[in-house]
Structure formats: C-alpha cells, structure tokens
Structure 1
Amino acid sequence: MTTPSDISLTFTVRRRKPEFITPNKPTSHEQKIVSDIDDQVSLRFQMPLVFFYRYDPSMEGKDPAEVIKDALAQTLVLYYPLAGRLREGNDGKLIVDCNEEGVMFIKADADVTLEQFGEILEPPFPCFDQLLCDFPYSQAILNCPLLLIQVTRLKCGGFIVALRFNHVMCDGTGLKQFMSAIGEMARGLVIPSILPVWERHLLDAQDPPKVAFAHHEYDQAEATDTVPLDDLVERSFFFGADRLSILRRLLPLHLGHCTKFELLTAYLWRCRTIAMDLDPDKEVRMLFAVNARSKFNPPLPSGYYGNAFAIPAAMTTVRNLRQNPLGHAVELVQQAKASMTEGYVKSVAALMTIRKKQLPLSTVAGSYGISDVTNIGFEDIDFGWGKAVFAGPAKAIGWISFFIPTKNKKGEVGTSVPICLPAPAMERFTKVLANVLQHPKLRARKVNLF
C-alpha cells in the first residue's frame, strides 16, 4: 500500500531489546470471559495509535520512556487483564488468562526532530514502521501480548508514543481511560481518577438470545462482489469549520442543524461511492461506530473499558446516492444513527451468539466505515510533558476511516480523515471532492475548499 505524503522523511531509530512490563504488585491469577460484543470476529485485530509530544523544559533530566514504563507497571496492577493473554475456550469463546506475562515495551531513540514531521501531523506518517517495530508473533490475537508500546525519544527533546492494542480487550474510549491512568500515575497520582470496571456480562446477549433488528452491517458478499484490496493508496483530507459551513449550504433548511458527524459522514459516503464507480443498481452501506455507554438504562459504569459500541448501517443503491442531493444521504445516516439503542446492542450480541461462526463486518463492495474519535480526548493524555500535539489512529484500517482532531498549517482546529482506496479510485475521489465547488449554490463563492 502506498502512502502519499507532503513530507519526505528518513531517519534512523536505535531500539533497546523489548521488555515485558508486568504489574509492580501481585495481581489475581484467574480467567475472565470477554463479552459477546468483545468476542466479534471483526474485533480480532491490532489497532495502531500514535501520540506526539513536544519538549518541555520543566521536565529537563527526566526520561519519558522510563517515566511511562514505571507508570505502566503501576497501572497494570488495576488493569491486570491487559497483562494477560487471550485464549480460545472449547466453545470458541475468548477468555483472558490473567497470568501477569506482561505488556511488550520498547525504548528507542531517533535522529529526527518533531518539526521534521511537518507542519501538519496527520496519517499517513512517514516511516511509521520505525516508530512501532514489529516483532515475531506480536500481531497475533491469541497467546501474545495484548499491548505493544514503543516510546521514541527525539533529538529535540520531544518524544513519540506509538502503540498497538488488541481490539478484543477494549474500544477507543476504554483505551483512552487506560492511557489516561498511565498519565496520572506518571504525574504522581497513586490511584487514577476513574477506576476500571470489568463487568463484561453487561454486554452479553439475553438468555435466550433474540435478534430483534436487521443487521445489514454484517451482510456478506459473493466472491465476485468484493473490491480488491491491493494497490491501495492512503491520503488524509482536512475539514475545518469553514469547509463544513460551506457544505451545510447544500442542505435544505430542515437539515441545517444536523451534527458535524452526520454531515461529514454523509458527504464522504456519497463522494467515495461515486469514486468507486460501482454498478448503479448495487447496494452500498455506510457503517459507523456509535458509543453505547449512555444508551443503556442504567448507563454502563463509568470505568467500563470493554468494547461498548455497535455499528449500525445506512443502506441504499449507488444510483439513489448519486442522483439525490447531499441531504438525502444525511437523512439516511440520521435514520441509522437513531436505531442505536440498548436493544440494538443486545441484538448484535445475540446475532454473534446464534451464529457460532461469527460474522465479520460487511464484505459487500462499496461498504464504507467511519469511526469518530474526535470526542474521545486522546490528545488530553498527559505523561507530564503536557497534552499531545497529535493523538489518534496512525492510519486507516482497510475500508474504515477515522475522524481525528488535528490542526492545519494555519493552526485552525478541524478534522482529519485518512482514507484508503485503490489508486484509480483515489484519483477520482479527489476530483469528486473538488467538484463540489461546481454546485450552483457555491459557484458564485470563490472558495478554495480542497
């Protein structure tokens, strides 16, 4: 996969031998069963994230790698399942063997400054494989570390924390809770402000399991109806407040107050579908993750760090998406989003339980996924050097994009969206975005949108 970037950067990284960081106090040796939501085959992958930090003169003489390593060992006392290993039970159900084998940790030094990564920090990052080294078996799901962290110290005094976590164990909100606890320990706290809660049974299917919704997010395609995943190109696109304001002018009055998420999701879905050049009669799906914590009655405990989301799907044909205005796509996204309830999550859990051979997310050609991390607060994680100047997913994951908070060259806060497409489709996608300016409502406004 190629990753176009405005930055041409090469640097050398010197790594220490990987260590296994274990809880710094004895913890319970037991087996914990993950929830039916955790246990989805679609979550059996390793998710990479990256955090960039500037030099802080008040921390002179302190080694960020040692500070984070010590705080990690302290935090794992409370989050001891993350120091264990995933096993597969006799019925195929995943179980966490809490055995204190530890988290993989790497200290590294790079002969590069933070400024050399460019004015805009957004995926794809040049030489990311240097910032998160791969080791044999470290990307497996079973019987391997559930978390890999590399702290790379830069010659300017800043540093980069890159990590890869097993998505079966937690979602983005849960990971942020864990990383924030490490930050609090690093800054001298003895107990984190939010204590972890396991309670994975809260997201199990009801007994007996009942599938109460049509889950098109798990529709499977025939082999001839899939899109090849070779020759992929990744690019990021920035959307600031001014650009989103321009897009709102394309909506009818009754949709003028739709959320930023609904507007941007609908817009990208429409543009991407056009760029994919699919058969007009094909059905396409827009899948997006919705946090379910507040959907439960009572809400899930604040310290719950497991996967607590579902992925409802908006669905229509290519023809309907192309021929109707942007507002039509916004309404489809709103309708799918409104279906997300506690009952919907339980229905997903039931579907996973009934279908013993668990379903992956949709493989239908044209399916597109979005995960919005702009409100999670990864950038607030502070190990003593202040907030991160960039924090979030390190790349798009196949056909899944992320909404990531970042800044452009002018310092304007906005949303960066990394997108992966086959090279010809990426070229068409870029042109489709630019062609928005040709809409009659915007033609008179000389605005450089992209």
Structure 2
Amino acid sequence: MGGAEVRKSSPARMIRPPELLPVTVTTNGTIKLTSFDRGCVKVPVTVLLVFEHMGREATDKIKRALSQALVHYYPFAGRIIISSSGAVDGDEFSIRCTGDGVEFLTASMDCSLKEAKILDESSCGKINPLRNELAILYPFGSYGSEDDPLLSVQVTEFSCGGLVLGVSWSHAIAAAAGMAQFLAAVGELARGSPSPSVVPVRWDDVVSRLEPWPSPMLQAMLACPETQGLELTANLDITIPSALIKCVKADYLSCGGFDGQPCTVFEVVVAVVWRCHIRATMSNNNPGNPAYLSFASNMRKYVGAKDGYYGNCGADRLISGATRSSVAEAGFLDLIKMIKRAKDQLPDNDQLMQGLRDRYDLMHVTSWRNVGFEQVDFGGGAPARVMFHGREGGTPPVPICIMNPACKGMDGVNLLLVTAKEHVDAILGELAKHT
C-alpha cells in the first residue's frame, strides 16, 4: 500500500431528514421494540460495501440520498430509550423518533482499491487490518446507550475512483435484510427515483404480538459466563471454493440425498466450517463435550409479517445430540443431514442447552447471501464485494460464522469466522486440507 493511510474528516457530522413525516405509530413519537428487537439493543453490526467505479460526486450524492431516505425511514434518525417503568420483565426499550440524525464521516486514501488489497478474495487468511479504518466501529456489548446513533455511515474514497461504504447500525432497529432494504432505497434515491420502490414498515402488529423463539446464543451466555480462558478475538477471512461445494453436492445426490432433496450451498459450507472448527479446537479433555450448532432463520414469511418490514423477526435453529468427537469424525454428508433435520423443527432449547459446558462448544452461523446487499446501486453499479466486519477483540458470546453475499468474480463462498487466537493456525490448517 506504499504507506497510504486513511484520512478521515473530523468530526463526523449528523445527517438529518430534510423534513420529518408525521409519526403516527404512537402519540408520543415512539416505537416500542418487539421481543425480537430487545435482545439486540447492545449488538452493533457492520457491513462494508466495495464499489469499483463511482464518480467524483458520489459521496455528495450518497449524503443527499441518505437524508432523503430518512424521511421514509425516520426511525433510523432517532435514539433508543430505556424505561423500567411499566416493563413487565426488566427494562422496556423503545425507539424515540427524535430526528437527531445518523452519523456520517468522509475519508480518503491515496491509493487504489487494488493497491489496498480491498478486493482480494482470500482462500484462507487473516483480515486485512485496513478494514478497521473503513467504518465507524462499536465494540460488541458496549453499544446501545441513549446517546448512541442508531446508524453510522463512512464513505472512503480511493484514488482509482472506487469507494468503500462502511455502515454500522444497531441490530435492534434493523435486521441484515432490513438494512439491505434501506441501502437499496438510498441507492434508488441517489439514482433519481422520487421515492423508494419498497414502502418501509417498522411497526407490525403481527410481529409485535409474537413471543421470541429461544436463542441458543443467549442461553450460551447465561449457561457459561466464562469461556475457560479462551478469548474469541480473531477474525478470519475464508473462502470455501466452488469446486469443493460442487463435489460435496454431487456426492450427496449420488447417495440419494435426504428425502429425495439435494443439499444447498449453505448446508455444504456449514458442514465444512463446523467440522474443521471442531477438529481444530478439540483437545484431549473435551472430546465428549456436546457439540451445538445454531443458525439464524428469517421468519417474516412464516409469521406473515408485512411486506417492507425491516425490524427483527428471526429464529435460531439448533443442532444438538452430538459430541465434539462425533462431529470431528463425521462425514460431510452426515453433517448435512443433521442440518436439514434442524431446519424442519424448533426444539426445546431450554432442555437441550443444559449440557453446554463451554461457550466454545457452540458455533453460530448466519448467512447474508441473497438478503439484498449485493444489489445496492448508487449509480455506479452493484458492489464488487460485500463483507461483514467486526473489530477484533469485540468478544462475541460464541464462535460466529457470517457468510458474505456472492459478488463479482467470486469463486466460492466467502465468510468471516470469529474464533480464538490460540486456534487460528490449527483452523487454517484444517481448512487447507479441503480448500
């Protein structure tokens, strides 16, 4: 990179809507968070969208479109408020639609995207440290005070004409699919559309009445407050090659599949990463520990949520009944069948998680493939790459695997794996056997 550094404007400014729509959700301008939202109040999420060809006025265009989008998505410009009065079970959280605005920061680099190695597709390696400078990052668990903005945006321009859009937001206000919907709306407005093509909905009576499905991640935090000396502070950039995925899918079909159905790309990638991670982290004193795998599932269509709803409405599916040694010794096809069975049921997680001995016995997987980030367009075309990102040292409750969207020229499925530094070399070694 030739010593190039990210030069940031200081301080960040607040972008507000040019006018606020009348707030009709409640008489006092607040939106009560649902049972799905409340568990996400202290969870920040960051996505990086890399665009290769943008004009010189791209940053100003995005800034104007962002302001216009806040007219339609006005809750993003508000703040989380916490009240203990009237709460049935602990604190009550709401979004106050204050119009305070979203945080916006501009930055630049005297090098190209190629020179900065932003577009490099990793087969197996550590995260490019430059990514930490491309977004306004918040540590896991320390986010969610009444002063924190619900959305922070950084635009970093490169000498080649490309840019990186770094977006950090409170998971309480939007799921990943909801944020992709919002950014698509910003793109439409930047391209000259008078209004978003999807009418946004933040309050849905159907979703608000639902009790949350049990969360294995939350139960892991409650059941195992310590991680037995391991710190989940290493982020790995991994790509599972298309050749491996096609090979496993072909083997699965040749063996008759599961109920006559082929396996999916998601199922293959989960099986590969889960087994490699178990093998790399299994020690002589824990092969008999139970091995759990949870993965996020979008429940909007299942519960009948309104079109355009961008709040949280998801359930964690749980795979249980195996030990670390049985997963380590299993074939990919057997693991895929376990994953398929988990998709068809919502188990009694309270009972199943009683055997959890260590947070490291549970891995959580979520997929951003096909949620819409790969289609965001501010006028220069779709992003060349989309990446989940989190600051190292954020210490999530359990090992996490996030599958990134498929983008230009990608030969496989790219993902970010959050794990312990002590096991990085072993994990990369296991993955190298297959990739």
TM range (shorter): 0.7 to 0.9
1:192 paired residue number:
196
Residue 98 of structure 2 corresponds to residue 129 of structure 1: no
Residue of structure 2 equivalent to 1:27:
21
Q: In the TM superposition, what are the counterparts of 1:373-388 in structure 2 within 5 Å? A: 373-388=368-383
Q: Match of 2:26?
A: none
- Aligned mates of 1:321, 1:405 — CA distance in 2: 27
Does structure 2 retain, via aligned residues, the 8 Å contact 1:117–1:126? no
Once residues 362 and 84 of structure 1 are traced to their aligned partners in structure 2, the CA distance between those partners, rounded to angstroms, is 40
The letter of the residue matching 2:388 is: P
Matches within 5 A, 1:38-437: 38-40=37-39, 42=40, 44-56=42-54, 59=55, 62-90=56-84, 91=87, 92-118=91-117, 119-121=119-121, 124-133=127-136, 140-143=143-146, 144-206=148-210, 216-220=216-220, 223=224, 226-230=227-231, 232-248=233-249, 251=252, 252-255=255-258, 257-278=262-283, 279-296=286-303, 299-315=304-320, 316-339=322-345, 364-395=359-390, 398=396, 399-406=399-406, 411-435=409-433
Q: Does the Cα contact within 8 Å between 1:373 and 1:392 map onto a contact in 2?
A: no
Matches of 1:135 and 1:254 in 2, distance apart?
Answer: 43
Structure 1 gap ranges (5+): 1-6, 352-360, 436-448
What's 1:442 paired with? Answer: none
Measure, in 2, the Cα distance between the counterparts of 1:338 and 1:275: 29
For the residues of structure 2 that align with 1:33 and 1:222, how far apart are their CA atoms?
A: 29
1:402 alignment partner AA:
I
Shift of 1:76: 0.4
1:45–1:141: 8 Å Cα contact kept in structure 2? yes
Deviations 1:266-293 (A, max 9, x none): 2211111111115122112111111112
- Aligned counterparts of 1:434 and 1:389: Cα–Cα separation in 2: 25
Q: Is 2:4–2:110's contact at 8 Å kept on the other side of the alignment?
A: no
TM-score, normalised via structure 2 length: 0.83
Contact 2:224–2:359 (CA<8 Å) still a contact in 1?
no
Residues 353-397 of structure 1: per-residue CA shift (max 9 Å, x gap): xxxxxxxx9963321111111111212111111111112312487
* Per-residue deviation, 1:301: 1.6
Alpha-carbon separation, structure 2, partners of 1:194 and 1:318: 45
Check whether the contact 1:23–1:77 (CA below 8 A) recurs between aligned residues.
yes
TM-score normalised by length of structure 1: 0.81
Q: What SS does the corresponding residue of 1:295 show, helix, strand or coil? A: helix
Structure 2 vs 1, CA of residues 99 and 395 (structure 1 numbering), >3 Å: closer, same or farther? closer
What amino acid maps onto 2:191 in structure 1?
R
Question: Which residue does 1:357 correspond to in 2?
Answer: none
SS at structure 1 position matched to 2:427: helix
- Contact kept, 8 Å, 1:237 with 1:417, in 2: the verdict is yes
Give the superposition deviation at 1:50. 0.7
Cα distance between partner residues in 2 of 1:231 and 1:96: 31
Letter in 2 for 1:375: N
Provide the rounded CA distance (Å) in 2 between the counterparts of 1:236 and 1:364. Answer: 22
CA distance in 1, matches of 2:420, 2:263: 31
Change (3 A) 1:369 1:135: closer
| Uncovered stretches (5+) of structure 2, i.e. residues with no partner | 24-28, 351-355
Alpha carbons of structure 1 residues 166 and 365: separation in structure 2 relative to 1, 3 Å: same
Structure-1 separation of matches of 2:52 and 2:232: 35
Secondary structure of the structure 2 residue equivalent to 1:127: helix
Q: Deviations over 1:401-440 (max 9, x none)?
A: 11113569xx3442112212223422222222334xxxxx
**Per the alignment, in what secondary structure is the counterpart of residue 257 of structure 2?**
helix
**Percent same amino acid at aligned positions?**
22
Residue 245 of structure 1: how far off its partner (Å) = 1.8
What displacement does 1:198 show? Answer: 1.9
Decide whether the 8 Å contact of 2:46 with 2:168 is kept in 1. Answer: yes
Letter in 1 for 2:290: E
| SS in structure 2 of the partner of residue 115 of structure 1 | coil
Q: Distance in 1 between matches of 2:225 and 2:99?
A: 46
